Each structure stands twice: as C-alpha cells, then as structure tokens.
Chain A
Amino acid sequence: MISALAALFIGMGAHAQDYGTAAVSTASGDELYKRVETNLTNSFIGAFPGLTILHGTGEPGSNTASYLIRGMGSYGLGTWNQARLFVDGFEVNIDYMTSISPAEIEKVEVLKDAAALVLYGEKGANGVISITTRRGVEGQSKVNARVRYGVQTPALLNKPLGSYRFATLYNQAVSNDKGMVWSPVYSQAQLDAYRDGTGINTDWYAKALRGSGSYMDADVVLNGGSKAARYNINLDYLGNKGLLNAADTDSTRNLGYQRFNVRANLDFNVLKVFEVKMDIGGRIETLHRPNYSTASLFSNLAKYPSNIYGVYDDAAQTHFSGTGVYPNNPYASVNGLGWFSVKARSLQTNLSVKERLDMITEGLFLEQAVSFYSYTLSTYSKSRNYARWYNGATTTTDETTTLTASGYGSAGMQDWKQGRLTAGYDRSFGEHNLTARLNWGISAYKGDGYFSFKYNTLNLNGLLHYDYAHRYIVELAFSRFGNDAFAPGHRWHFYPAVSAAWIVSNEDFLKGSGLVQFLKFRASAGLTGFSESKATNILNDFNSNGRYLYKDYYTYSYIGAFYMGSPAAEWQNSLVPMFNPNDEIGPEKSLKLNIGLDATLFGGIQLTADAFLDRRTGILTLDKSLMGYYGKQYSFSNIGEMNSRGFELSAEYSGKAGELRYSAGGFVSYATNTIVNMAEVPPANAFSAQTGRPYGTFIGLVANGFYQVQDFDDDGRLLPGLPTPAFGEVQPGDVKYRDLDDNTVIDQNDITRIGRSWIPEWNFSFGGKLAWRGFDAEILFQGVAGVSVNLLDNWNQTVAFIDNGNAYAIAEGAWAYYPMEGIDTRATATYPRLTTQGNQNNYRLSTLWLKDGSFIKLRNLEFGYTIKEGVRCFVNGQNLLTFSPLQSKYNIDPENASGGYPQLRSFNAGISLTF
C-alpha cells in the first residue's frame, strides 16, 4: 500500500515497501485496466486518496481528466493538472502520459509529501505522478492476450425546448422588452402549428449526433526470460468511434481515435557486474473529425433553436439550410465541410547501465541512465464548403465547393533529453540497515512556443536512509536544483527534507499479536519548489510561464506593427518592453508537513491515514499595489503566500467465507487552502476580498428574489428608498441584489463569498469485490463534494434568447406577469424575466446562478467468469448512475457543466487469455 521513496530510484525490491517513510498512494496497472477509458488519466478516478479528480469529457482526443494532488497548493499556475509526471524515473509531459495503455503499466504512484517529493526539487511542490512499466520476470514465457469491445452512449444530453415552448416563452421575452405590454411575435396559428407538429421543430442533437459510439481495444503481452536476459513486450491497439452523425467516407468522417502502442522492456545481466535495462515505448495516434471544431459544433447545438429551419431547404435534400443569423446548420457542419485529421507519434527510449561494485566495498554500485523522448504532430484534411439556403435562396456568400485535400504538414514537435548518474550504497550491519544515494540529473526539454519552449534543469540530489531493526527509521534527503529560468546567482536552490517512521508492530510487545499485524507511524517535513507561474494573464499572454523575468526584454510578436510613408505606407517593426526586470525572482517554495499511519488489523482490515499542511511562499505575483501611472503593470516578485491543509483516510476489509471471497473499502480525502497574500488591491469592502479565502472561491452578488411590480412607480421608475442597481435600468422580474455595504447603490462593491471554489474540497470513493468459484463481481462509486458550479459558465444553455440564443427548461421558471393572458409566475419564479436583449443586471455571477456541484457516480460495475485457468470473460458498465443535485434540477452533468461534448456511459464485454 505504501511504497518507499527509495524504491523509485533503485527500481523494485531493494526495500520492502513497509519500511518507507513517505505518503504515497499506489494503484496497479491491472486495477486501472478495469476502467474502460481512452485516456489513462480518467482511469485514475477513485484509485488514489489525495488526488482531486474530475472526469474529462467523452470527446476522443480532448478527454484528459482534471486532477490536482492534495488540492490547489498555489495560485501560481492556478489550473488543473499541475503535477509533474514521470515514467520509469524520467519526466514526461501530459501528451505522453494520457495515452499510455494500462497494459504497459506495473503501477502508478501519486507522491504527496515532502519525503516523497524532495528529490524532485523544483518539480515537486505540486506533487508527482510516477508510473512504473512492467518488466520481464524470470521463468517460463507467458503470453497474455486481451480484447474488449464496448458501446458508448452519451451519459447526458441537455436538450433545448421544442419549438412550441420556445415560441411561447419568446413571446413573453419580447413583451417584457416592450415595457410589459403583451406583444407576441409568434401568432396563435404559428404556435398551434408548432404544437401539432406541422411547424418546424428540429431536434439538432438528434440530427447531428448518433445514438452511440464504440470502443475497442486489444493487447498482447509477452513476458519471461532467464537470469541473464528478461523481457516484457507489449503490443496494444485502441479504437474509439465518436458520437457524430457522419459516416466514414472520402468526404465525411465521424469523430474517431486510433492508437497503436508498442513497448519492449529488456533487462540483461552482463558478467557479474553489469545490469542493463533497455526500454523502448513507441506510439502512433490518429484523430479524425469533421472539418468543424467539435467545441463550435456543441456550442451551435446548444444555441440553435428548434424552429429555425430543417436540415434541408428543399424537398430533394440537396440544399443545406442556413441563415445569416444561424449560418452553421449543425448537421451540415458534420457532413458538409469535409474532414480533418491529426496524427501524433511519440517515442521514449531509456537505457540504464548499473555496475555492482561489491569488489570495492560490498553494497556499492554506480548507475548511468539516459532517456530520449521525441514527439511530432502532423495534420491532414479534406475540406469543402456548402451554400446556405433559406426559403429557396442563398443567404450568405458561402458557395458549394468540391472536396480539396490539404498538404500533409507538421503541427508541432517536442524533444526531451534526460540523463542521470547515480552512486548508491546498500548494506546491513546486523540490525543496522543503511541505504544511501547520490544522483546527478540533467534535463533538456524543447517544445513549441516563444519564451517557454526550452527548459534546462540540473538536479543534484541524494538521500540517507537508516533503519534500526525494522523498527526505527530515519531518512534525510535533499535536492540542490539548478533552473535556467532565473538570473545568474539565483539559479540554484536547496531543498532538504527529514522523515521518520516507527514500526510499532515490530516491537516485541506487539509481535505475533492477533489484533495488530502491522502498525507504522510516519512523519515528514521538508521543502520543495516550483518554478512556473501563470498567475496573471500577462504571464500567459507573453507565454512566459514566469521565465526570464530578470531580463528587460522587448518583444514585437504580440502587438502588430506601425506604418510609415506615402504614397505606399511601409510596415515598421515595433518593439515594446515586456516586464519590469527583477533579478531576485526565484521559485515558489513549499514547506510540507505530513503525519500518517499504516495498519493491518484483525487479519483483514487495512488502514492508512494521513494529515498534511502545505505552506507555500514566494508565489510569483504581479505587484498590483504599484500605482497605475508608474506605467508598468508587469512588475513581478515572489510575494504570494498560501496555506493548504487536509487529510486522507482509506480503509479496506477483505475476508473469506467458504468459497466466497469478498472485500469492501473506500477512501475519503479532504483538501482546502487559504490565500494569505496575493498582493490584492484591497477592495472597497473587506467582504469582497479573495485574500483569506480558498483559491477559486466564487465571489459575487447575493440575489434577493426579483423586483416586483409594486417596486416601481407609474412611470416605471424604481421607488425611492430601494437601492439603485448600477447595472442598467431594471424592471419587474429583474434580479434584486442585497446592498451589502448599505450605501443605497448595488454595484460590484457588494460582492462577497457566495459559495465554494470550483475545486472540490472532498473526494471519495467506495466499492467492493466478490468472488465465488469462477465468478467475480466488482463495483466502484466515486464522488466529490464541497464544490460550486456557476451556471453562467454554460451560457448557451442557461441564458435564454439573448444574442439569438435558445431556451431550456430552466427558462420556464421565468418571472412573468400578463394577467390578461393568464400568465402569472410572480410567486413561483426561479429565473429572471425573459428578455431578448443583453442584460447586465440579471446575468452576472450571483447566488441565483451558483449551484452545488457535488455528485456521486457509479463509475464501474463488472461481472466476470473464469472459464478455466487463464481464460476469463467479463462484462462491465461504466458511468452508470449519477446522483447530483445539479443534474436532477438542471439536467447538467456536474463534471461537464460547460455543456460541451457529453460524458459517456459504456457497456463493454471482453475476454482475457493467458498461456
């Protein structure tokens, strides 16, 4: 359950995992294989206590999960997915990790505390996900072949109102805009036609999407070898078909993804001295889709009302419909524009040679290792266009064109060269067990981009691990980290850590106890760092990631040119200063404290508990306190501070009753934080501040019902005595806000904390397994809590009618009062009065739109049957049930609140053969 830090650096087995001092969560490749996912990160869900995680969308190619280790420790990057990623001890980027097949994986570890992270120096502060791939095992050759096939359907589609209900509400909206004088745009005859089905009522989701997509994967693993040479060879295929309603033809393509992985991990023992490891992991991935961005397609699906037009404008079905206002008929976007594809190739090659120097002194060894990684991306497309027709005439300048192939071209590349030299010493003297390591690591990354395309780092690190009688364990470790991002003289930083463990169960008084089989207490404290920052848009805009801020660089890449001369004006370069140079800038630092225990009790209960504090200082921050007329907002320094805290608790009970074997378990983890200093300009009212609150806390207005008719005088003016809203004129049915500072004006100075952060505080999972004779079953639930979702982030499905928008069921709760028409929702309204015009008062962040984003999902349910030794078949279902207040009330998936490509529910069947 808990592996030691040292194990990471010397491969497997040098230490029994029980003797570690660090906080690490581990899952095996076999466990992750059970989640049928195209993207590895999604299979992490429910597997790691301390990993905050939300599932990615179901869109092949854009489906990476959102994760954080122990919550948001720093606002420096302020985004998801900050953990650094390592495969077999070498760093990789997320492009590489997402497409590793679980079949290649021995185990995945999530490194959480200072004892586990200190060696990573300035890559460690936001945690590390470390993957170890399978290696050959000495013995008879084994072949394992597996194949799975599944059907995937959208877990949830939030469809708009049909034409009748849309038009009914639209009449209200227009009337509201005309001073609440009933002025319907749709006549009763039109409404009747919509209702009886003779009017246009197009379900765009049904037109542009198909009912289901498919999933298939297959892998073969060969494993075996002798003492002199061992191998693990893996071949893996994955194919995923999306939900778009386009056939795979020369001119159209459904969204789809294909992946081929090959990996060979080889171990050789040469003479008595050398141990050689040669690992090659390669992959080709292809993604294709209609030649229209999937995000735009889903935006149109959400936005285009049902009554605009049908798919075709003519009975012969040769003219796609389209108008100036709604030019991109969703069905035609999928079928009328050709297709686009992107291909990625990546190769990671690692070689290490270890020399056992027992002849010099027993237990001494040296190791040299290198890793080369390269990645290229290329694109290819076939495009065409179509004329937009409406009522027999074209409506835009688009013309129908023939299919044209693009050139096959490069779209980006990366390479990464890493090396490591290690000197190690492992020896036991009686009850004294000693392990020592000294590593020197070098990393040179080149990718795409401007200021952030090249990263060079050096890392001299080491550890000393002392164990007395497997009872008392102390570990000292350090990293001296060199980073090219900083000024000469400020490039090297030192990160120490100390940790200790006491294995109580190895004390004489507990040895052989039936109650306590294993009990260990752990504690660790230490420093790690992080050197990248996107704390403000400015760092993002200049693609600087917080690098080279010590230089007074000028740029001409972002601002365009100036022209000079006559009659033909000539283009003139223009150069602008970027940042106020600051020599002192360095990495942000994280002081992490952790205490924990691991226990095995009553012969069947396994427990792990951890509690942590993370004090972050020196977060790179824009100094907003400088006056504007200083003239250079771009002034950065290491002044930000944040504190995080939380705990993880996991428990599993396994047992046996006759031939029935069973286990049940789960975990809960909690992480939250406080911004101590972010150089925030003090807001007018203290209650509006972000400082002192968790990062990402929603700060907005407090809604207080709706304005009623009696709040206005006969001329439509707000009655004196009521606070004046500063967001434009209001009328009955508009949102009323609380004037928190009692200054009779409602404005942005009245904002305060109105909910949680967008980062869940609580993450939990629970489940169980049963096995009886050849049958087995497994179930897994997972969820999050303590998180808020802003419905306005899903603007298209929340805000009705504005900008020729659509209307959803939520708009049926709108405030309306037309007594002559029998419409009166004044008492029951849950949504502001409808309007077709922009409205600054109603559609701004407030308690009206902020909702609880908690959920529990049934992630996995599997039944298997082992026909005979080595032959198992199984069926499983993924993402089968969701319990969520957001989903039950607003039909919005809390993990996909912005309403893009849906998450998937899948039913799969497969077989595994081992011989």
Chain B
Amino acid sequence: MKKIFFSFFAICILGSCSLFLEKPDTTGTVDQDDVFSTTKNAGSALMSCYRNILKHGWPGGMGIGHSTYGALSGEIGRGYSWHGSYIIAQQGLSVNGVDGSDSGTDSYEKSWSYIRQCWLVNENIDKVADLSEGDKATVKAETMGLVAYRYMGMLYRYGGVPIVRKSFLSTDDLSAPRASVKDVVDYICELCDAAYSVLPVSWPAAYTGRLTKGAVLAIKARTLLFAARPLFNSATPYLDNGDHNDLICFGNYDKERWKAAIDANEAVLAWAVDAGVELLNTGGAGKGNPNPNAFDDYAQATSVFANPEIILAYKLGKQEGWEPMVNYLCCSAHQNVSRFDTDANGVLTNHLEQYWAADGTDVSWPKVGEAMPHPGAEWITKVLSLEPRAHADIKFGGFDSENNPGDYYWSNAGWNRGGYAAEKNKASSFPDPINDEKGCGERTKFFYHAGSRTWCEPPLFRLAETYMNLAEAYNEYGNTVKALENLNIVHNRAGLPAITETDQARLRAIIQREDAIEFFQENHRYFDVKHWKLPNVGNGICGGPMRMLQFNIKNDEAATWPFAAKWIETWWDSVVYNAYWSDEMLLEPLPQLEVNKGTTVQNPGYTK
C-alpha cells in the first residue's frame, strides 16, 4: 500500500508537471522567430512600422491626442479644454507632456520605440525563407526610409537627437548623447541615399502607399530645406544653450545650404517625371496663367486617394472606428458620432486673412477695435470673392460646403455639426465674442466629394510642396526668376494670376503666405513659422491674440438654426483667446524623465 501511495505521488508530480506548465495556448501570439519565418508575418511587422512612423504628428498619432498642429499655429481654434492644443495654447509646451504626448507636442519615447521596430525588421528580414533577395533588399530600404522620416520629424522638433543605427540590446552601451544638428542632417541624407538606390520608382497599384524613390527624395528635400532655414542655419542659436549650441543650430550661416535644398528638391521633380507624378492642373490655360479648373484641381489634389500629385500619403481604406488621426482632422460625418473632437476648432480669422481674393488681390476683413460691426450682406460678398482654395478648405458660416455640392448633409440646412459663431439677437455682444469656439466656419479640406465618407488619406508629401520648397530656396539663394517660376506653378494652379514681385524680402513674405494657404491643415505651418524665425510668431501666429469672426443673427421667427447666411444682421472680429508664447518654444522640449537620466541635454529655456 505504501508503495502504491508513493508511486502515485511520483507519477503525478514528475510525469505531468512539465507538460501542464508548458506555454498555454494563448491565442494569436507570435514571437520574433514566428514573425520572421514567413513573408506574411514579416509583412505585418513592416506594416506596423509604416503605421507607427507615418502617423508622426497627426492627431492621436503620437503627438497630442486632439487637433492638428494648425490649432497651435493660427489656423484653427484650440478645441476643448481637455484637448492638448487647448492646454498648450494656454500654458505653452510642457516638459511633462499633455494629452498623450510625453513632452511638448510629441512623444519622444515612442519615436524610439518605432525606430527600433524598423531596425528589428531590417535586421531580421534575411531570416524569412520564402522571400526573394531582391524583396529583402527592398524591405530593408523601406525601413531605412521610415527611420529617416521619423528622424526628419525629430530634427525639426528638437534639433539634434541621438543617432541610433540598430536595435540595441540591453547589454549595449546606452550612453549615446544627442548628436549635433549637422550630424543628424547628414544621417538622414545617408539613410535616404541608401534607400533611394534600392527602392522602386513607383509601386504597382496594389502596393500604393509604400515608400518609393520619390518618397525618400522628398524626405531628404524637406530635411535639407529645414537645414537651410534661419533657425538652424545660423551662427547664433535662438537661445543660448551653453556648451550645447550645436544641438540646436549649425553655428554658422552657409548660403550653400539653400543650394543643397534646391538640388534635393529638383531631384524630386526629376523623379516625378519618371514616376508620372505631377501637379494637378487640368485647365489647360498654359504656363503662367490662372487655371480655370482651380477649385476641382486643388480639391482633388488634397482629397482624392492616390491622385497624381501625391508623393506619399498615410493610407486608410475605410472608417477605422475611432481612429483619431482622421476623425479629428475635419468636420466629416464623424461629427455626428462625436462632435467633441472637432467642433470647437473653428477657423481663425488669423488664417482667413491669408487667402487671396479670386482675382489675386487682398481681401479686407473686419478688424478688432472697429467702432461698428459690419452689415451681414458684406459677409456674403466677401466669401464669394475668395479664391478657390478657401472654398475647398472651409465650409463658411451660413454657406453650403462647396466640396460636396448638392449633398444635403454637407449643406448648411443639413448641417448638424459645429456650425459657426452665430447666435440670434446678439447685437449687444459687440465687440465681444458671442462664441469662442466656432469661428467663421469649419474645415472641409480633404473631403472633396466625400459624401458620407468619414476618413481621408492625409497627404504627407504632395508635389506642390516640392515647388514651394524650390520657390523658397531659390529666393533665398538669390535666383528670383526660378523662385517666381516655382511659386507661380502653385499659385496659378489655384486660379490666381502670376506673382511678379522681385524684391527678395517681399517675395519671401508672399511665398510664406502661399505656404500658409496651400498647406492649411497639413501640419506644415507650425514648424515652418518657427524655422523661419518670424518676428511675430508670438503675436498672432503661434502665440498672441487668436481671433474669430462673430455673427449676430437677425431676431426673426423665420431664422432657425443652422442659420443661413442671409440671416446675418451684423458681424465683427473678436479676440477669442490669447495663445501662450515664449521663445523657447521655437524647438520642442525633451521629456523631463529622459533629461533626469543624466545623459540627454534639454533644449534651452525649459528649466532644468
């Protein structure tokens, strides 16, 4: 009996243990060996690199959780009080992060996490058995291009950052300090050059969205443009950073950096010819003349998926539930689901004033401090006088959205979204705001003929950028003719008569204004204005008074919400808030947590 008893125990204890405690059948879990055993899995790992890297800076895309950077650079209102954009507009950039960022408007730590993912794919792709050598080389090139994209974003946010060339092991020496601006620029170019030699000119349709030669050329072109701009291309930094000024500027002004930017952008144009990428201009008016199809061309270039003007876009196939990246970008039908993401981001007068009239002249808008409000009829004439891009970008208060003509849900009557800053019988509010959230209207860019579609594919590089980069760089380099030529390609396409200004400083201002209009909501301006070191960046651009038009609606029984423009009795401009600005905000802060570890130097002006 005793024997039976003990052998019983022995069998149970020794026999079953090893099996019973084996890795349980956790569903859907693959380890690194599994990932790089098949093309399909490795492809999935590559797709997550695309997703994570290319989201950089878009709402919820590892920056602030709500709003585009336009809410921090005078394009649109700051949003609701829990939005990162609101908090930053109120208190400036924080070393501790806000609304999903870990400092400023970015997620520094996640950048590194994603770069590591790219390197892991790069280092392990050779293990995949059923993938050709050529495809492996392409995947490696794609990961290098993606690393370059994220470095480019970090460069114009932070200046120099550590250079990481592989996936670290925990046993590696991890004490790499921040590299200089120069080294990071060189590193991005090195990655782009290496990727360029391998990547295809273009992909077959089914692979649209992946990096091409043109995409890495565009990364390099934008990087070199930022390298040439005044913030980095300077003998003295914007604020003194002691022994670490090379982290935030080159330490000298070199005009040839503009030449490098010109060459890199011309290379994009050369590639575009091979790849069939071109600026949409279907009017046939000829070079130097206004494009009669300006509205449709501009709207399609920014809205239609994979249109010929796109160099690289963030691809989305369908409504992805609560995907903030697109839901927070617009006033699409998503607002019917939750308006709290977007409907307090009305268009600011600060931005409205950038638009040209359709005939290429300036438009005069109400000014803060005027003695009298303006009559309502004037609003209608002003809106009608605006250039086509304004109508594609904005659904103006009281008007139907021109982006979706004939679609009831995009008409003013069907408008069940944020609307505009209008209220009945509010004449007495003048000159104060009636409403500090809605402004003169809402964003409709990216939603040309969208109907009920709630998603869009945010363009990361459009060929229009290349022309505008060239216009800027040629003007700085002293070649006004080429500057005007490139500027007018974009300006004429928008249906406007050619610019002829030849004074460098005045032309510079015009180019900057063109950038502000053409790239509204494309996350350009927040970085452009800082790197241009505009003197009034804190006074009406990123910081300072933010203004919205206010509309007093006639006290008439027949006027019902949403109010058509004909019911506007008076309107005026009001300062709705003052956005915080301080010069250290020219570059983003690094996370306090990272600085506390002792190896990483903070940017100047952010205490400790």
Contact = CB atoms under 8 A, between A and B. Distances in A.
Interface string A658-695: 00000000000000000000000111100000000000
A576 B48 contact: yes
A188 to B, nearest CB: 15
A577 B33 CA distance: 12
Given A423-B5, A681-B593, A633 B29 contact: no
B48 A562 contact: yes
Contacts of B481: none
A574 B48 contact: yes
A514 interface: no
B416 A397 contact: yes
Interface string B35-65: 1000011011101101110000000000000
Nearest to B580: A728
A328 to B, nearest CB: 13
B362 interface: no
A576 B52 contact: yes
A629 B162 contact: yes
Given A548-B26, A561-B320, A838 B87 contact: yes
Interface string A619-649: 0000011111111110100000000000000
Contacts of B24: 454, 456, 484
A438 B209 CA distance: 64
Contact of A568 (B5, B109, B164, B317): B317
B317 A571 contact: yes
Given A633-B113, A681-B597, A840-B87, A562 B51 contact: yes
Nearest to A556: B44
Contacts of B175: 627
B580 A575 contact: no
A726 B596 CA distance: 18
Contacts of A575: 30, 35, 41, 44-45, 47-48
Contact of A577 (B20, B80, B120, B593): B120
Interface stretch (B9-17, B186-194, B368-376, B548-556): B9-17
B30 A629 contact: no
A569 B316 contact: yes
B208 A565 contact: yes
A555 interface: yes
Contacts of A444: 20
B82 A803 contact: yes
B20 A458 contact: yes
A743 interface: yes
Contacts, number: 254
A567 B305 contact: yes
A745 interface: yes
B506 interface: no
A357 interface: yes
B31 interface: yes
A483 interface: yes
Contact of B210 (A440, A564, A682): A564
Interface stretch (B166-174, B248-256, B290-298, B472-480): B166-174
B482 interface: no
Interface stretch (B88-96, B271-279, B381-389, B493-501): B88-96
A553 interface: yes
A248 interface: no
Interface residues of A, number: 86
A454 B25 CA distance: 8
A816 to B, nearest CB: 21
Given A624-B593, A684-B608, A840-B90, A491 B112 contact: no
Interface in A336-377: 357, 360, 366
Contacts of A624: 593
B1 A360 contact: yes
Contacts of B168: 630-632
A485 to B, nearest CB: 9
9 contacts: A183-B432, A562-B50, A564-B208, A569-B208, A576-B48, A576-B117, A629-B176, A683-B596, A748-B592
Interface of A: 178, 183, 324, 357, 360, 366, 393, 396-397, 421, 423, 438, 440, 442, 444, 450-451, 453-454, 456-458, 460, 482-484, 491, 548, 551-557, 559-577, 580, 624-633, 635, 681-684, 726-729, 743, 745, 747-749, 802-803, 837-841
Interface of B: 1-2, 5, 8-9, 12-13, 16-17, 20-32, 34-35, 40-41, 43-45, 47-48, 50-52, 80-82, 86-87, 90-92, 94-96, 108-109, 112-117, 119-120, 161-162, 164, 167-168, 170, 174-176, 205-210, 305-306, 315-318, 320, 323, 336, 339, 416, 432, 457, 560-561, 578, 580, 591-594, 596-597, 599-600, 607-608
Across the A-B interface, give the 6 residue pairs with the lowest CB-CB distance, nearest first.
Answer: A631-B116, A838-B81, A728-B91, A569-B317, A574-B48, A566-B306
